[in-house]
Amino acid sequence: MNKKDLAYFLAEKYNLKKGVTEELIDSLFLKMEQELRQKKKINIVGFGSFYVKEMKQRTATNPQNGETFELESREVVKFKLGKKLREMFKNKK
């Protein structure tokens, strides 16, 4: 699913114009981006949470040629599954 698919789904489900749903989605993503830039955690109960984690500087190895190199410290966005979503995947066989 991509943003276009999500906008179409919401437009159909709530009988809205696709342009309106695209604006809503853009606003949601903008707010999420702002929160993550401030290193705030985004928690969506049952679905999961997004948070920023600092990755420390480390030495890495190129698997193709075995050369080592330094990776600078950086911040990355992580996602942790919520209980409901985790259970859905746990029970799927």
pLDDT at 90: 85
HEC-encoded secondary structure of the chain? CCHHHHHHHHHHHHCCCHHHHHHHHHHHHHHHHHHHHCCCCEEECCCEEEEEEEECCEEEECCCCCCEEEECCEEEEEEEECHHHHHHHHCCC
What is the Cα Rg of the chain in Å?
A: 19
Q: Residue 92 has what pLDDT?
A: 67
User: Residue 55's pLDDT is what?
Assistant: 95
Q: Which residues in the chain show pLDDT less than 50? A: none
How far apart (Å, rounded) are the C-alpha atoms in residues 90 and 84?
10
Q: What is the pTM of this model?
A: 0.79
